[in-house]
Amino acid sequence: MSDLTSLTLVEARKALDKKEFSATELTKAHLQKMEQTDHLNAFITKTPDYALARAAESDGKLAKGQGGLLEGLPIGMKDLFCTKDILTTAGSKILGNYKPQYESTVSSNLNAQGAVMLGKLNMDEFAMGSANLTSAYGSVKSPWHPKGSNKDYVPGGSSGGSAAAVACGSVMAATGTDTGGSIRQPAAFAGIVGIKPTYGLCSRFGIVAFASSLDQAGPMTKTVSDAALMLQAMAGYDSKDATSINQPIPDYLSLMNGNVKGLRIGIPKEYRVEGLDPQIDAIWDQGIAWMKEQGAEIVEISLPHTKYALPTYYIIAPAEASSNLARYDGVRFGLRVDEGDLKSLYENTRAQGFGEEVKTRILIGTYVLSAGYYDAYFIKALKVRRLITNDFNEAFKKVDVILTPTTPTPAFAIGEEPKDPVSMYMNDILTVTANIAGLPAISVPAGFTDQGMPLGLQLIGPALQETALLNAALAVEQAANFSEMSQKLRNAS
């Protein structure tokens, strides 16, 4: 039998049905891998006893020929999802003692489908970051290293713990959240698949809020097929989320065949951004060639307001964050620094509980919402958001999906990240547009730099067209020879 931690979700689910091994054996193998890769700091909270109890339940169901989509499959949960009676920190000191009394809808859906949670995964504090360097629980390290180097590299963020855990094989799949690229960018950096679904496809209930009009949960997996399976388990209408979309969730996996003959692929000229790494430009051209070879039609398109996407995002997201994070005051839950009067309680709790990046974004958000600046900044950003959405609406009259790079650069070494905030924010330049417009987008590993670091390609689709998007992603994965890539990925851990 092959190493159980090298299996995909689809492979393992079939093997469990055939009784080739048990869910308990599968879980123990991943718990062992989790300990072997502990140096990556991918987990904030480990739940081995809980996982083994869940695996035993799955074995009972499987013995009766029962079981859900993910029955007995070990996964990790980003520490932004509330899990009942299990520590949920959002990567922040201010929630360092918080054990929710309820379960997020996404984690409830995964539990209902038999998934076995191994623990809560590290992340940038309150999902604010592009490199997993802002967590109160320390930075996450990528399992990847450039040839001939022992430097530690970032796994991307904010879902960096999820990316690292999937990439090293300590979990079979993981949940992530994406506000401006926080699933897709780490997926590209870590050589895995990550999809941000249409806004509203996965419930936001029980996810610690960053920017409510942009946040969306999604899966991070080894393959596109696994992403389809995981998304089917995660998604669904939820009456507890006012933005949840009420429509049936298809069997994404059975609808994929990788055939893109006749598909119209849009190539936006505005995504040839300044500072785009030449190796990423080359893999984009390779992706275009792969699609042509498979019979797709390549169409150059224009998304003229793309240049305004990043400043628009960094007005809207901090504004919503400043509102959402006002609830952390030391009174109701979380950290409480009780010194002096009520005003001192608020000030000291927030000063000690929030990290520097979170404080910065709260201040930016408070500023753009303040009297005299609300119309000049926030309202104007909402108008530009509509123009960006309109660009996509026009583009999708001409094309079926859009193909771009996921990130402007490959992963960088810890300690060598851009030091000024604006340069760091540029990591999101190719991903934020999908969040602004509420569109589904997926990152697929497509190649390597000369130094052997992963590179990803991004596909963006019209709203609620996840089936077509996953199918196009499968075509990219097959052309890129993902099986060989994943073997290198396993060897890199």
Q: Which residues are catalytic?
A: 78, 158, 182
Structure tokens given for 440: 């589904």
Burial of residue 278 (CB within 10 Å: 0-12, 13-18, 19+) is exposed
* Gap between the terminal Cα atoms of the chain: 20
Q: Taking phi first (over 0 means left), then psi (-120 to 50 degrees means alpha), and beta for anything else, what does residue 41 get?
A: left
| CA 141/CA 306 separation, integer angstroms | 31
471 near 257, Cβ under 8 Å?
yes
462 near 478, Cβ under 8 Å?
no
HSE of 89, CA atoms in CB hemisphere, 13 A: 25
| CA 393/CA 5 separation, integer angstroms | 42
300 near 197, Cβ under 8 Å?
no
| Beta-carbon count within 10 A of 242 CB | 10
Contacts of 449 (CB under 8 A, 6+ apart): 146, 279, 410, 455
Q: What is the H or E stretch that residue 459 is in? A: strand 454-460
DSSP tag of 378:
I
